Amino acid sequence: MARHTFIRNTTSFWVWIAMAALVLVADQFTKVLMVSTYQLGEGFAVNSFFNIVRVHNEGAAFSFLATAGGWQRWFFTGLGVVATLGMVWMLKKHPGQKLFGFAIACILGGAVGNVMDRVLYGYVVDFLDFYYAGIHFPAFNVADCGISVGAACLILDEVLRVRRGN
């Protein structure tokens, strides 16, 4: 491999790590604001379909296993650590793939943000509450947004890859 290719690939890897760090910092900053400002269940209405409200999620997505008795904290923490290592490896292996790198970086930043919550608090701090006609979508946070955007981009990347015939 030529020296300039190695430098470009190494640089791309660090760009993706920096992007993941940006998602992580935004996530943790907003959670620290929520924890330091509001008690559990407190918040405020932004408009007729959106609230900012502090919620704790001891489970996974959509509160899956939230009432499992406590073991899920360490299970999801371990799962997050394994996923983090896998994503860092993928970024290292494919640093030049832009959409793929962006997707993995978004998911990585979000995953680390939620793992940090589990370690620090024993639950994930959620606060974005959307609802319509009295029906509330499960509350979520900036990490969840990063994971969702990343997952959508990962799907798009795969669709585009299949269309190219790679």
Enumerate the active-site residues: 126, 144
The CA distance from 88 to 162, in Å, is: 24
The CA distance from 9 to 97, in Å, is: 10
Contact status, residue 116 vs residue 143, Cβ threshold 8 Å = no
The CA distance from 81 to 88, in Å, is: 11
Tokens of 18: 């920096």
Which helix (H) or strand (E) segment holds residue 139: the answer is none
Q: Distance between terminal CA atoms of the chain?
A: 22
Report DSSP state, residue 164: H
